[in-house]
Structure 1
Amino acid sequence: MKQGEQTRNTIIKAANKLFYQQGFHQTAFSDIVKEVGLSKGNITYHFKSKDDILQAVLQRRMQKTQETLDLWDTQYLDAKERLICFINSLQEGKSDLTQYGCPNGTLASELGKSNALTRELSKHVFDLIRHWLTDQFLALGFPADQANEKALELFTRGQGICVLSHVYSDENMFTNEVNHLKQMIND
């Protein structure tokens, strides 16, 4: 990887972390400079504005989401196993999800009302997950309309778990609700 590409990736990774933990509006450009450890000039060489960094962060999230879903498709032959893997990924992220909420959900909520591009890019990330979930239910033999409903139910319940456990700062609530999701899949 070339130095410029590596620097760009470092900036995106740092901004992703800050946008998730602090929110986009609460993250100043100077926070990104401090987190990366580069001068403002080095960062503005790669990104002219914080909005440009945001677009790169959302593109990276989309790419990482697709890579994860593709990995699960190759690692697990059974659709039920893939759905359980999806639910387990929520449980594995329990601490961060309880502390900060869903990275995509919180950013979409924060910026979705005022930033059409952010809303559209967030929708693409959500669509990747939703369509993948639908494919899993189709593979389990559900008719298309039911597969879509089940996928939407699982996805919205997962998002709801993230929101409520974050609001209540309650990891036990998170774990209990994730276990309900697993029961939903196993029934």
Structure 2
Amino acid sequence: MTKGEETRQFIIERSAPIFNTRGIAATAMSDIMEATKLSKGSLYVHFENKDVLAGAAVDYNMEKLGNKVMAALSRHKNAKDKLFAYADAFNDPMQPPVTGGCPMMNFGMEADDTNEVVRIKVNEAVEMSQQVIIDIAKAGVKEGTFKPDWNYKEFATMMFAMIEGGIMISRVAGNNSKMKIITRNLKKMITEQVI
């Protein structure tokens, strides 16, 4: 990495938790200046404007979340355990895998009507997350772990929506009790498909 690339990455890493916690609209360049100890001019050397930096921060937060989920899945061999691990990766919304909470939830709710670029990024991440669930379940059907008639594509949509909804209600309530119910029921639904 060149010095310029290192500085750009440093700015992204320092600003990503701020954008994910406060939101894009509520984050000012002065917040980024404070976190990075860089001048406004230095920030604008690396990022044309706040929206460009916010887009990079969204990408960084999504990648960080994806890496943590994939690391959790990689510890397991069979499809059932991988699906359980996926659910468990989000089981504690009060201690989220990414500072500030789930970036898909945070940026998705903010950007759906206000920022088309971020909305598209979030939608891609949502589709990719559901595809991970589909791929695991499909492999489980192929390996003989799950029933061959399981509509795992529909299940992937439900699982993803239940997890995201559980994150929201848990964070608003300030506790994980509802997420525990969701995780328990997702695992029950998965177990019901085991041959």
TM over 0.5: yes
- The residue correspondences of 1:139-150 to structure 2 (distance < 5 A) are 139-141=139-141, 146-150=151-155
Larger Rg: 2
What is the CA–CA distance in structure 1 between the aligned matches of 2:150 and 2:7, rounded to whole Å? 45
Rounded Cα–Cα distance in structure 1 between residues aligned with 2:41 and 2:86: 40
In 2, distance between residues paired with 1:152 and 1:130? 6
- The 3-state SS of whatever aligns with 1:114 is coil
Write the distance in 2 (CA, Å) between the matches of 1:144 and 1:60. Answer: 38
Shift of 1:76: 2.6
For the residue of structure 2 that corresponds to 1:26, the secondary structure is coil
Aligned AA for 1:147?
Y
Higher helix share: 1
Q: Would the alpha carbon gap of residues 65 and 95 (structure 1) be closer, same or farther in structure 2, given more than 3 Å must change?
A: closer
Aligned to 1:164: 169
Match of 1:16? 16
> Do the aligned residues in 2 keep the contact of 1:138 with 1:144 (CA within 8 Å)?
no
Contact 2:20 2:103 in 1 (8 A): yes
2:162 paired with 1:178: no
CA, structure 1 residues 143+13, in 2 after alignment: closer, same or farther (shift >3 Å)?
A: farther
2:83 & 2:56 partners in 1: Cα distance?
28
Q: Which residue of 2 aligns with 1:43?
A: 43
1:135 aligns with 135
Q: Conserved in 1, the CA contact under 8 Å of 2:93 and 2:171? A: no
Identity score, percent: 25
What whole-Å deviation, never above 9, does each CA across 1:37-66 have from its counterpart, x for those lacking one? 212122111111110011112222444455
The 5 A counterparts of 1:64-83 are 64-68=64-68, 71=71, 74-83=74-83
- 1:135 Cα offset (Å): 0.7
CA contact (8 A) 1:91 1:175 kept: yes
CA displacement at 1:115 relative to structure 2: 1.4
For structure 1, the 5+ residue unaligned runs are none
Moved more, 85-94 or 65-74: 65-74
Alpha-carbon RMSD: 2.5
1:4 aligns with 4
Q: TM-score, structure 2 length as denominator?
A: 0.83
- Give the SS at the match of 2:91: helix
Count of equivalent residues:
186
Matched to 2:185, the amino acid is: H
**Could you tell me how far 1:12 is from its partner in structure 2?**
1.1
Secondary structure of the 2:27 match is coil
TM-score (norm: length of structure 1): 0.86
The letter of the residue matching 2:25 is H
Deviations 1:68-93 (A, max 9, x none): 46545654321112112211211255
Secondary structure at the residue paired with 1:140? helix
